[in-house]
């Protein structure tokens, strides 16, 4: 086998097409794109809820919001949720006005709101926490994300599958044309992001069997790699 240099491109920008990768290659070669895919069942969730209250004074609005957030946080702690898995955002406070026609704006009250984000490590408890939030005065569910706790492991599996796919395609193409591969000349790789399953629509539909939906959901982890292989001359 002839000695050659192996160029590896690791980037965070968009993929360079295989054709562009090999545009300046003068020796015999072939280009392949390997794709890998792994299906995983989510085992954790991250959800965000919000409480919004309007009161005549800023103090009353703040107190109403703080009361709901405190009650929900206490519920979560009693249920065994770790403090590090609960994130309560700072309060947002804005005056509310009425705008009569051809008159000065009239102050009608104050709107206060706070968000709470929770990481659920036992997926079977998710629906219980959401019901508890509503019972404590939380009046908005912003989103629910289903994830896998061992994300890196599944990402590695998808990456290895993409590598094997690129190699298999190169081997098949070379054999089909009566050629032999003489190693790898260039690799272009950009790590893929694992996208969580968004469950907002289901969570807001009280008639849906949300608990079953959480358990039956799947996450698809995909990866890809572009490779330029040398061919024997």
Long-range contacts of 165-171 (CB under 8 A, 24+ apart): 165/34, 165/35, 165/36, 166/32, 166/33, 166/34, 166/225, 166/226, 166/227, 167/34, 167/227, 169/32, 169/33, 169/34, 170/30, 170/32, 170/227, 170/229
- 200 domain-assigned: no
- 134 and 181 both lie in a single domain: no
* pLDDT value of position 213: 63
- 107 domain-assigned: yes
Distance, CA of 112 to CA of 66 (rounded, Å) = 9
- 160 domain-assigned: yes
38 and 221 Cβ atoms separated by less than 8 Å: yes
* pLDDT value of position 205: 47
- 20 and 62 both lie in a single domain: no
- 156 domain-assigned: yes
CATH classification at residue 79: 3.30.70.2970
* pLDDT value of position 31: 96
pLDDT digits (tens, 9 = 90+) for 158-202: 999 999 999 999 999 999 999 999 999 999 998 888 888 887 544
- 167 and 86 both lie in a single domain: no
- 208 domain-assigned: no
- 56 and 27 both lie in a single domain: no
Relative orientation angle of helices 126-135 and 58-78, to the nearest 10 degrees: 150
Tally of domains in the chain? 2
- 29 and 52 both lie in a single domain: no
CA atoms within 13 A on the CB side of 141: 24
CATH classification at residue 170: 3.30.110.170
Predicted TM-score (pTM) of the model is: 0.73
- 75 and 119 both lie in a single domain: yes
- 27 and 48 both lie in a single domain: no
- 125 domain-assigned: yes
- 20 and 81 both lie in a single domain: no
Q: Which domain holds residue 90?
A: 44-147
- 87 domain-assigned: yes
Lay out the sheet containing 29-40: strands in order across. Answer: 7-10, 181-189, 219-231, 29-40
End position of a domain, from candidates 84, 112, 147: 147
- 21 and 77 both lie in a single domain: no
* pLDDT value of position 92: 96
* pLDDT value of position 198: 83
- 14 domain-assigned: yes
- 109 and 35 both lie in a single domain: no
- 34 and 48 both lie in a single domain: no
Torsion of CA 155, 161, 165, 171, to 10 degrees: 130
> Could you list the mean pLDDT of each consecutive 10-residue stretch along the chain, which spans 233 residues?
44 45 75 96 95 97 97 96 95 95 93 98 93 95 93 95 97 96 94 80 47 73 96 90
End position of a domain, from candidates 114, 130, 147: 147
- 84 and 163 both lie in a single domain: no
Residue 112 neighbours by CB under 8 Å, 6+ apart: 52, 53, 54, 55, 58, 61, 62, 64, 65, 91, 92, 93
């Amino acid at each position: 086998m002839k000695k050659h240099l192996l160029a590896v491109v690791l980037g965070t920008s968009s993929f360079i097409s295989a054709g562009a990768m090999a545009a300046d290659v003068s020796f015999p070669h072939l280009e392949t794109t390997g794709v890998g895919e792994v299906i995983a069942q989510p085992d954790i969730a991250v959800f965000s809820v919000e409480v919004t209250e309007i009161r005549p004074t800023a103090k009353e609005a703040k107190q109403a919001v703080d009361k709901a957030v405190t009650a929900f946080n206490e519920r979560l702690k009693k249920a065994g949720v770790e403090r590090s898995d609960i994130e309560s955002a700072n309060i947002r406070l804005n005056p509310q006005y009425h705008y009569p026609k051809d008159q000065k704006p009239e102050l009608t009250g104050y709107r206060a709101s706070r968000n709470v984000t929770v990481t659920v490590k036992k997926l079977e408890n998710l629906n219980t926490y959401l019901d508890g939030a509503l019972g404590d005065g939380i009046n908005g569910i912003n989103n629910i994300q289903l994830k896998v706790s061992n994300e890196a492991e599944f990402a590695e599996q998808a990456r290895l599958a993409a590598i094997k796919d690129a190699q298999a395609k190169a081997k098949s193409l070379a054999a089909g044309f009566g050629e032999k591969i003489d190693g790898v000349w260039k690799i272009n790789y950009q790590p893929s992001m694992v996208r969580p399953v968004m469950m907002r629509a289901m969570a807001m539909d009280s008639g849906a069997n949300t608990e079953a939906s959480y358990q039956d959901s799947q996450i698809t982890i995909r990866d890809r790699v572009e490779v330029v292989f040398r061919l024997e001359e």
